[in-house]
Structure 1
Amino acid sequence: MFSRYLNKLRAMQARQTYFLPGILLLAVLLLLYLYGSWETNRQRTLSQLESLATVAQSNTRLLQQQLNSQLVSLQQNLPAQNPQNWSLWVRQQHKPHPLFSHIALYTADGQLLASSFDSAAPQQAPPALTRDGLDFMQQNPRFLRTLPVNKGYYLPYCLRTSHPSELVICLFTSTSHHYLQWQAVDSLEHSAQRLISSDGIILLASPLPVSRQQIIGTRISERQQQYLHLNSAEHTEKHFLYFSNQTEFDGAKRLGVVSFDPQSQLLQIISLPMASVLTLWLEDIVWPLLLFTLLLIVYWYSYRQSQKNVQQNEHRYSEESRALSEKEKIIDMLMSNIPGSIYQISLPEHLLDFISAGDLQIFSENDNNSVRHSLLALIHPDDQEKYLQEIDSHCTSGTPYKIIYRIQTLQHEVKWIMDRGQVVFNKQNPCRIEGLLIDITDHTLSKQHVEYLATRDPLTELFNRYYFNDELMNSIEELTPGSGKIALLFIDLDRFKTVNDSLGHQVGDRLLKLVADRLRHLVAPQHMVARLGGDEFIVMMNKPESSQEIEHLAERIISAVSQTYQLDYYKLSTSCSIGISVCPDDSNESYILLRNADTAMYQAKSRGGNCYQFYTEEMNQKVNSRLTLENELRRAVKNQEFELYYQPQVSTFDNRLLGAEALIRWIHPSAGIVSPADFIPIAEETGLIREIGDWALLEACKKFSEWNNTFALDMTISVNVSVRQLDDAFVLRTQEILNISQLDAKYLELEITESLLLDNVQENLRILDNINKLGVRFAMDDFGTGYSSLSYLKQFPISKLKIDRAFINEINNDPEDEAIVRAIIALAKTLRLELVAEGVENHQQLALLQALACDSYQGYYFSKPVPADVFRQRYLEQKPPLQKSLQQQ
């Protein structure tokens, strides 16, 4: 006991000695944290500004492209000879347009000839163009110096024309127009945009105080050019340059990102006031600062208490050390070596008469001699009833006992204790307990951790597949007739692969954890939630009251999962598909129930996802039918059970044969002809489409090479291509097929759908460009029925549009269909693309297409798809007059 008190005193004195170094260490850590958090906040802000600069640069490029198109159109409309009144020409060309406000025409030396400002405000006219602006423009259209006109500022976008008079056309856009006033959705508050030409002219500054508006159109100072690195080689080496704590044009210190666009020769500057950056930083550190202050207060309080305890223990030590005897020292030594703590308790109060220190620290070191603590008060509330029942039972029997329970120490720790003791009776104390407390916390926690790892999913901490299967089988065994049902809700996230592919698996894992948290809080405790793997979750409902309760839970899950998720800077949205099977209605076997729920889930996905579906027997029959069709399709590929049919494509005006579209047919040995709509989707899913597509392409090329050579024709053969075929190997296969078939590449046309252009755009564009370089042309099939994007018509090497039959069927009866066809034809004519109308079935449709100047058509009105021998005999060998052939169809 003497040594114990001495060690305690030394420990307290040591803690006082380390107090000041501890304060210094906390201060250093705080400074390091403040510096690190400032840098983190600054880098995060720069990253956000980079994203905003990229968006602004993209918007500026798009505006330039649109203005280019308008300038080219105006240049084409210039009269060959100078009219007497240019102002009249400008008024004729000036029409309301969202991209610009006015048009102005200048001479080669920058003198104003005419402008549309004359009609809007006759007293105002744009000033002449400066020589440096004209020289800077050269032969390419450019943004020139912003000009003040009619009490406002306008940004001119000018083009030096090829007109004999060397005229310059300028489109003026107001700097307050929303096309120039860049609005960043969800952008940083107080962020600002600056647009500067490469020669240092401020073209646009937004927002900018009214008192500073006059700086627009002026050249920035040498100092500003230096920190913006204007005309520096760094702009060609780095995509972004940064500046910090620099004074911009409104006099405020700012943090910003400079992005130089070599295409437009413009600098985009996105900046944020340093005051806003500081505010964001302070918001990040306010709680750590409060925590540090609280920690300092606690530390100081502990120091004061430690001083007080040292004084008390010094006095206590001096009083009690004299009373210690040699016998007590020996007992202390023996008890300290026992693996546990020996105790004695008086009943029924359960107060401790004695407890040795041992290696079990139940009380604080100051309380080791306190013998009137209640052991029952230390036992965990959930274990007290069990403890009392055991003690009561052994008070009567007097036999030894062993109890395992949890205790809460005065240090608020929870420990697992194995209590081995016996109830003792004597005259002095009729009933007391003597025993040994052994700490088994580490052993118990290790056992629990092993059990947890064996039953839990490590990512989401939900139950795993193996534990779920065991619980499902146990629940089915306990289910008796009439005692209720079990419902399985098989949950699969929709388009989760897109998140992993675009943002990475780390973001995908975090999304799965958030989904698991929502399911954990949504599903009632009596039901089980587990993760089967990947993005698949499952819920087992025990004894639902009705199918309406199952549907209600499914609807709540769909609603909860579909809510937006916030992951750092990402706002993600997803949905889920749920398949439901019920025991015993669907099966009494666990694996069959899981399979049926999985089947129902895929049926829900086939309906577009974000819905639930109960299992039905028809689904199983459909799955079996599809599996049978897949096996037969593999046999068909091996046995070459395919045949190509050809549907002629003819001129709309004279019915001249231009070529044909190759259409594949599966000649099934017993079922006859199988429609491509039935087996092509399966071929795409299984990868068989590559073999089938290569065979069809080779067969069509060989046949048309033979016919063109035999009959001295120049017919084009069109072959459909699936997105699953497009890869670098397909480019080589196309070249090889052209070599084998000896078909000139200009007679081969590959048909692609709009959906092919939506996924992996850049990769598909590269592959199509490589094929186009071989001389092969591309046609866009079913145009207008997909996600039509005019930008794709510019990017992809497309030479022909095929108007879908959905617009042709009712073209004579539905004004909307006629309007759509008119628009498609006008678009194709403008872009110099060929046109084919599909599904022409009567003369009225053909007559309207002739009136609309559609190039060619195909359909049952001329011919349905026919085998190769029929096509050759009917359209190549006999060569009947086309009008007569039309009457025979």
Structure 2
Amino acid sequence: MKTAASSVISDNDNTPAQSIPRSPRLLETLLANLDGVVYRCRDDAQWTVEFVSEGCLQLTGYLPEELLLNQRISFLELIHPDDRQMVRAHVDDCVRLRRRFDVEYRIVHVEGAIRWVWGRGVGIYNADGEVEALEGFMQDVTERKEAAQALQEAERRYRSIFENAIEGVFQTTPDGTYIAVNPALARIYGYRSPEDLIVSLRDIRHQLYVEPERRSEFMRLMEEHGSVSNFESRVYRRDGDIIWISENARAVYGDAGTLVFYEGTVEAITERKLYEAEMRHQATHDALTGLPNRNMLHDHLQRAIQSARQKGGLTAVAFVDLDQFKYINDSLGHQVGDELLKTVAQRLMSCVRDSDMVARQGGDEFVLVLQNQTEGDVGIAEVMQRILAAVSRPWQAGDREFHITSSIGVSRYPTDGKDVETLLKNADSAMYKAKEQGRNNFQFFAPWMDTQVSNRLEMLISLRRALDQQEFKLFYQPKLSLKDGRIIGAEALIRWESPEQGMVAPDRFIPFAEEAGLIVPIGEWVLRTACRQNKAWQDAGLPPIPVAVNLSPRQMNQALPEFVANVLADSGLSASWLELEITENVVMKDAEKTVATLNTLKRLGLQISVDDFGTGYSSLSYLRRFPVDALKIDKSFVRDIARDADSAAIVKAVISLAHILNLRVIAEGVEDEEQHAFLRENGCDEVQGYYFGKPMTVDDFTDRLRKEAVQAAP
């Protein structure tokens, strides 16, 4: 007798009946090949299974017979405990309403793993409308659910990052309308909320950018490169304040290759820009008077010479030196002397035009650059007379009144020189002539002024003799750790013990040695002597410390690393106990060559520090490239940190900058407890100065090292 299924197939097909599979076998094969489980169960408390297909093993880990009639586990028990009530309620509602049930839930695999399934089914009713059974189909959807959950988690994290980012995040249309922004961007631009920003800021080019052409530049870069990086601009906040921002953005294209929107980030950089501007100002201006310093003077004078060369006209350089300043400075102290210098700076500025320059050369020396002197020497002389009169006006210091005068030397372009160095040198010579003439006067340079020449010649002869007859001595000034007050280094300082002049300070003979080229053999002597002495201290059993040696600009050449290596080898001193100090001006004179030389020196294993930091013109981008270990804050800043807010701010900034670049900070010229406390509180690493110890002879420094070693012994 044929089954219904086989009957249908036989009636509609010419295939021989004996080749057609029997219907039960066909159904069994179909069910076995389904990617899921077909089941029939009773509508009782356990949903007792009456039939389940072979897919049960793969999905649940149980054999079909283990589920039949609840022999090992019931269908309801397969469902995760947290989902049973939900699934039961859904199925009961659907059966009651005679609807198909469709639900996703979790089951527990025989091995304990959790799997997600999707189930569909219907209730089977008898003639009286009562539910006889439930029939349905289950399929494993674990991968899809996990993928969906991962996507939701990613979206949640993205939304959290977007909402809580410190940087502003945005999407804009190419025509300059915001599509989406995060709360940080609203705060940066001064809006109450992202929605407020989107509604209010409808025209980025004109409402946001202070210079609308910056938006044009932004668009140009986007068209050329598809992105912008570190795009800095000034923008308006909602309240009208102007701030600096840095943008990073990219263009986003659709499937068809059309531009959809721009997206990116915004960082507020106003503080950094102000800091950089302040650092640039300090690099080109004198910290005390606010006047341009010698670096800016040289640049300005060079431009003045080029302008005069192209357009014609007379440019004058006036070298102003205060008379008796040393007497006031030594008698009344540096603070009074500084006030006098600031007063003189203001008086000099009042005597010149806006197109002229007044710069501080250093100490009590000022230089004026006067351009386009159409009235020749007569007009220059009138300016000089005004300066002499202005400087000599009475000046009050406490309850005492002083009358200070000045001596001025003048050189002219092109008559007295055609380059910066010559004009400054000749103005200096004329100034010395003015002093010889009794001070409080000015002198134009003349070729016969040879006073300076004869003085220099005499000094140079004495220096050559000093080098030959070993008249130089090395003194050592201790460097102390601010953490525990221990001596952690020393600076080797040269002194000249002249038979005629006694002990001569370096600032009196080093400039002449530099000019004559004697600084190279003198510098080599210093390095050899310092390395030998440091090795001798170590051989005597004293705690090892690095000794710092200053390098002259003339020593910074390709042969220096080889010479240093030879000195270390000859002395037997390990390179780690040698520190070389270079000034900012040396660093920036030829930055590329300097970097190469310093890298070669660093490979020897020694330490390198930048001396007099803050007095020159350092480029921060170059400073990051230099292989230096420490910055030394110049004593001119340290001197006023306890009473001058500007000096204190500069010192704090240098300490912060150095630590950001992983550099040690050394403060020199520390003379009192106030300075010491300020530096300690602001994180300075090392100090040196008279407060901790003057430069000492070898014997005195040896005694101090020995005493400290005894005190440190357990």
Question: TM-score with structure 1 length normalisation?
Answer: 0.38
